[in-house]
Amino acid sequence: MSYAELFCQSNFSFLQGASHPEELAVQAEFLEYNAIAITDECSVAGVVRAHTAIKEHSLSIKLIVGSYFILDDFHIVLLCPNRDAYAELCRIISNARRRSEKGQYHLDRWDLMSIKHCLCLWLPNSSNNNASEMKNDYWAQWLNKYHKGRSWIACMRHLESNDAEHIQYCNTLSKTSDLPIVACGGVLMHSPNRQSLHHVLTAIRHKTTVEDCQDGRLSNTERALRPISKIAKLYKPEWIQESIRIAERCTFDLSELRYEYPAELVPDNKSAMEHLRDLVKHGSQLRFPEGVPSDIQQTIDKELTLIEELKYPYYFLTIHDLVMFAKRQKILFQGRGSAANSVVCYCLEITSVDPRQISVLFERFISKERDEPPDIDVDFEHERREEVIQYIYGKYGRERTALAATVISYRLKMAIRDVGKALGLHESQLDFFIKNIFRRDRSLNWQSQIMELGLNPESYKGQQFIHLVNEILGFPRHLSQHVGGFVISRGPLYELVPVENAAMEARTVIQWDKDDLESLGLLKVDVLALGMLTAIRKAFSLIQQQHKQSLSIAHITALGDDPDVYKMIQQADTVGVFQIESRAQMSMLPRLKPACYYDLVIQIAIVRPGPIQGDMVHPFLKRRNGEESIDYPSKEVEAVLSRTLGVPIFQEQVIKLAMVAAGFSGGEADQLRRAMASWKKTGKLKPFRDKLINGMQKRGYEAEFAERVYMQICGFGEYGFPESHSASFAVLAYVSAWLKYYYPLEFYAALLNSLPMGFYSASQLIQDAKRHGIHILPTCVNHSQYEHIIEDRKMRLGLHMISGLSESAAQEIIKQRPSKGYQHTQELISLHMTRKDLESLASANALQAISGNRFETRWQLSNQEYALPLLKEQCNHYHLNSEPSEYENLVEDYAATGLTLGKHPLQLLLESGLLQGITTSDQLKNKAHRSLVTVAGVVTAKQAPGTAAGVTFMTLEDHLGNMNVIVWSGTARAQKSAFMTAKILKIKGILEREGDVIHIIAGKLIDISGEIERFKVDAREFH
């Protein structure tokens, strides 16, 4: 006997299903089911996962696409027998979702009446009164009227108290309505072991505890996939056989979906390919005004031939249209990623990376063997990307375009909180757990840490908590919108995939994420946001205002490599500079000493986990410094590795090595790259080992060299960095460094006006600006604009810095400001601002020009009687005659604006005598290697890279600069409280020096935050 499960909800029926779609498909195969339908509620979000699992594991089970709906008391499952039915289902889901806010749906009776192709499985309510019977009779007649021959009564048996009555009622209903019965399970989990997790999910959904949750909690494990032998005992043979007959009618497969490109970008008298060739020819004349070099022309011809063969011209035309729109609107943009490997993309102005500056590898971008759409990422200014997004919606309409989804899944913090609340743990205890778990401590997993924090591992609840948190990790929680991946189609998009409303107004998203789209080979256009592009554009604007000089990215790069700019870079003076501002990058800069554009390309790529794990960093530095000889086993290998001194640094080099040294085709080499990306999870890299090593030995390379190349590939793992990415980033890195060197005032103002972005907070950027001789003026109701401005070659902080001040109030202050400025507080009170707005201005000392200080401002604001018209003239006659101390100003500065222009906290502590025997940041250069030092500073950043074996890189800031501290995992664990929570740290450790790079190896961590009471500054934590 065989069986097809036709009603099955995965965990994409959020907080209802307790198993992944992949688990359901694999388990159904194991149980020897004939087919399984994934029927999530008003959704097809999980079906691609099941489809991919079946394909990857070569399973024989048939996957049926469907969905479950509720309309008042009417419960129905729709299944897709063919492509037309699938389009119909997507339309119904889209209509129901678009009528409601995000996460909800509203099914209309018209949706069900319009069904022409889907099969209908009706789940009648158990009859327990006349009203229920009357409703069931109505729906039975309705199904016969509109969907006769495509409707069934779906009978479920879950061994509950009313089973016998329900079976009898279904039999009676079938006879009176002439609707056949089919057996189905209403499956919510692949295994009975998931019952406890389902209880937790139900409690989370109902916002209660498992103990208090009665509605929807499973009384047994019958909602799991059950063995066919058990199914045979529960249902009549003909009902089971009916499930097979229905499954046989369902022939639709997701692989049938085909993407149709938008056609309106092509002139009527041309084909898409002819138009693309014309655009590339025109672009090549602009990019190469002195004539296209012959080798570049050959590459262009090769790319165009492959684009035509794989039928991708519409895709390139679509991206070209977007960047031309941005160009017309003067929105800065830059293509990156694998697109930088394409000369066609360079000619179409999608990317700014000149193919003569890097080693172009088109197979990294498109290959015949890979047979999937190319991936072009375009970054736009993050503050103006919405203009591009709305251009897409306006051009193609909401019927034809939407953003890809991002699946928000349970990660550790959310899992601990939700599972803990469901099990009845107190919220304060959960907050304590979350705050004190250090997830980067590889030698002590979170389970052990949580036991140290007070969870009793011997208790049943403690054991359940740990088990259930582990189970729920990775479970989808809800759909969100992708950062910028658009799907654009020729016809209605809802015939390809359902569309629903996003949380953000004027945004719609499809129900699949980027991995689903990739699995089905569907095109996605990435419209991404990059803060540095906004900062660069704002810097250009300020330079134009201040110096009447017009600049562009192309103009700066055309000037060539500037030795003075690179000298600044070599000194690691790169706070705020794109990509080379992190603590790890700044440590490498004095060692690698970039002196030209391609050095920057290497610099950006080499400080990545891939090259570090592949043991490539130190050999490269030794060879660059002349400490190690460079040798190549062949001319072919030299051609691939000579630019990086014989050391493979980029993914493209690994691909080329496989091609020239082991005989891989371009497509095979790209498959190797893809296997590298996930080999630790899938083990897919191992099958390439023999082919790679044997191929190299066959071509005369020594076994040792072949083995070393393979081990380097393993070291790259999922972290290998493409040269194409790095080349795109290096352009912006150089431009931002050039701006910092030649126009520091405009650079810092633009950077601060573009926050949030980058690695540093406003406080850190302003401290760095002050170290570069820039004078910072405080916020002021009489001089500040909303953003930071340049005033007499000084930077005036903007009103948007003030915490708690509404934008409307700030704009009103600017709009109503008298020509001579405000003269007294009453003028501001008369603007009818809220009490919170006025208090925020006082706290930020923005009324200093009127009242003198914070205390005086508050005193004047508190005298409400002066708001009366007759007393306006007297309002400034009475004064408090009290001033805040430096300490009080410091506390309020940080509370109101997140920074201080007064004395740094460390300077105050030193001047007050509270810190003794401290070495300041500027004194470290005079200390000997391996000497004992004591330092102190504000904790401004903590980095714990995944490849650093539990090491945390910490940055301390004092009043003279920054200090780099290395904290070993054992040190962090032994002094966890100070490590995790200190805002200001005193550290006793050992100074280590390598050239100009100085680190402190932390020994003793002392939390001295209490010395500055109520002082608060948040560290930037990067995991």
Q: At what angle do helices 651-662 and 723-742 cross, to 10 degrees?
A: 140
- Distance, in Å, from the CA atom of 392 to the CA atom of 385, rounded to the nearest integer, reads 11
The single residue listed with the structure tokens 């919510």 is 188
Conformation bin of residue 510: beta by default, left when phi > 0, alpha when psi is -120 to 50? beta
The CATH architecture to which 905-1015 belongs is: Beta Barrel (2.40)
Collapsing DSSP to helix, strand or coil, 152 comes out as: strand
* pLDDT score recorded for residue 370: 56
* pTM for the structure as a whole: 0.84
In whole angstroms, what is the distance from residue 329 CA to residue 381 CA?
A: 12
Of 541, 511, 507, the residue nearest 527 (C-alpha): 507
Q: Where are the alpha helices (DSSP H) in 607-662?
A: 609-613, 617-624, 635-641, 651-662
497 burial type by CB count under 10 A (0-12 exposed, 13-18 middle, 19+ buried): buried
The answer to whether domain 4-41+50-81+101-190+225-256 has CATH 3.20.20.140 is: yes
The domain ranges of the chain are 4-41+50-81+101-190+225-256, 272-406+481-531, 615-720, 760-897, 905-1015
pLDDT at 889: 87
> From CA 930, how far away is CA 928, in angstroms rounded?
6
- Any bridge partners for residue 966, and if so which? 953, 1001
Bridge-based pairing state of the strands 508-513 and 499-501: antiparallel
Please tell me the predicted confidence (pLDDT) of residue 766. Answer: 94
Pairing state between β 952-958 and 932-943: antiparallel
Q: Which residue has the tokens 């069931």?
A: 136
* pLDDT confidence of residue 75: 96
Element (H, E) at 122: strand 119-122
Q: Number of helices and strands (H, E) in the chain?
A: 44, 23
Distance CA 899, CA 957 (A): 13
DSSP 311: T
In terms of DSSP H, where are the helices of 761-864? 762-771, 807-815, 825-829, 835-843, 848-851, 854-862
571: its two tokens: 């000194």
Tell me, what's the pLDDT at 356?
A: 74
SS3 775: coil
The two tokens of residue 53 are 């699992």
Class of domain 272-406+481-531: alpha beta
Chunked in runs of 10, what are the mean pLDDT values of the chain (1023 residues)?
95 96 97 97 96 93 98 95 97 95 92 95 82 88 93 94 89 93 96 96 94 86 96 96 97 88 86 96 92 91 90 90 95 79 87 73 61 77 92 89 91 93 91 80 75 83 92 92 84 91 85 85 85 96 96 89 97 94 86 92 77 62 86 87 86 80 78 64 66 88 84 63 82 96 97 90 92 95 96 96 94 94 88 90 92 84 56 52 80 90 90 88 93 94 68 90 90 89 93 86 93 57 48
Residue 121: CB atoms within 10 Å: 26
